[in-house]
């Protein structure tokens, strides 16, 4: 059974083992992907048009727009529910990784300082490689522990550029 939490408050227990049920009630539905990439959904005799706006696999979150209304849905699989019941909900969270150079290049600009708190998606460094500027963004929330490179210096593939904690 999967638990879906909608907009941080409404919880639904969804079971797809044999027939699809939601909160132990059978649901009659069908869906088709449209050429636009949206979905046409018919559920219990009602028609809906849905669009997937964003998917975050790390947090198991999907942002949908259904008939012009936006919904954030967090999916809890059985393992997530078990870990939460044991009080170790965040045990499966991704480890914060240091930022490494994926290829040789030249550090153009360091956008963070040691001790700075950064959020997932924040730009941290600009690396020029193969005549292109590449903006490195944080893969998760973290604290900048150490900056191992200086601006205008060459780096090799795999070299640690910024240490995160």
| 130 shares a domain with 71 | no
Query: Mean pLDDT over all residues of the chain?
Result: 88
Q: Please write the tens of the pLDDT for every residue from 16-75.
A: 877 888 888 898 889 999 999 899 999 989 999 999 999 888 788 999 999 999 999 999
* pLDDT surpasses 60 at 157: yes
Instruction: Name the 3-class secondary structure at 46.
Output: strand
Shared domain check, 123 and 76:
no
Give the end of a domain, one of 92, 119, 145: 92
Q: Note the pLDDT tens digit of each residue in 132-149.
A: 899 999 888 889 999 999
Residues 113 and 68 in one domain: no
pLDDT of amino acid 104: 93
Among 59, 92, 125, the domain-final residue is 92
Selection from 58, 56, 57, 28 nearest residue 42 by Cα? 28
Token pair for 116:
């700075």
80 and 122 together in one domain: no
Among 60, 130, 121, 53, which residue's Cα sits nearest to residue 89? Answer: 60
Question: What is the mean predicted confidence (pLDDT) over 86-93?
Answer: 62
Residues 88 and 18 placed together within one structural domain of the fold = yes
Residue 90 has pLDDT above 60, yes or no: no
Q: For residue 88, what are the domain limits?
A: 2-92
Is the pLDDT confidence value at 156 over 90? yes
Residues 6+ apart with CB under 8 A from 29: 20, 41, 42, 43, 44
What residues contact 51, with CB distance under 8 A and at least 6 apart? 37, 38, 39, 64, 65, 66
The last residue of one of the domains, among 38, 59, 92, is 92
User: Can you tell me the distance from the alpha carbon of 5 to that of 25, in angstroms, rounded to the nearest whole number?
Assistant: 17
State the total domains in the chain: 2
Question: Do 86 and 104 belong together in one domain?
Answer: no
Q: What is the CATH number of the domain that holds 159?
A: 2.40.50.100
């Amino acid at each position: 059974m999967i638990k879906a939490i909608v907009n941080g408050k409404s919880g639904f227990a969804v079971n797809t083992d044999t027939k699809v049920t939601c909160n132990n009630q059978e649901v009659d539905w069908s869906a088709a992907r449209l050429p636009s990439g949206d979905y046409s959904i018919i559920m219990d005799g009602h028609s809906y048009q849905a669009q997937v706006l964003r998917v975050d696999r790390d947090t198991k979150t999907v942002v949908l727009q259904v008939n012009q209304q936006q919904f954030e849905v967090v999916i809890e699989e059985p393992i997530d529910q078990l870990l939460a019941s044991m009080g170790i909900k965040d045990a499966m969270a991704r480890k914060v990784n240091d930022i490494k150079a994926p290829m040789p290049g030249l550090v153009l600009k360091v956008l963070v300082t040691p001790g700075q708190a950064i959020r997932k998606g924040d730009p941290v460094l600009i690396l020029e490689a193969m005549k292109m500027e590449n903006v490195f963004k944080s893969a998760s929330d973290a604290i900048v522990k150490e900056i191992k490179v200086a601006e205008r210096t060459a780096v090799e593939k795999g070299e640690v550029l910024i240490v995160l904690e």
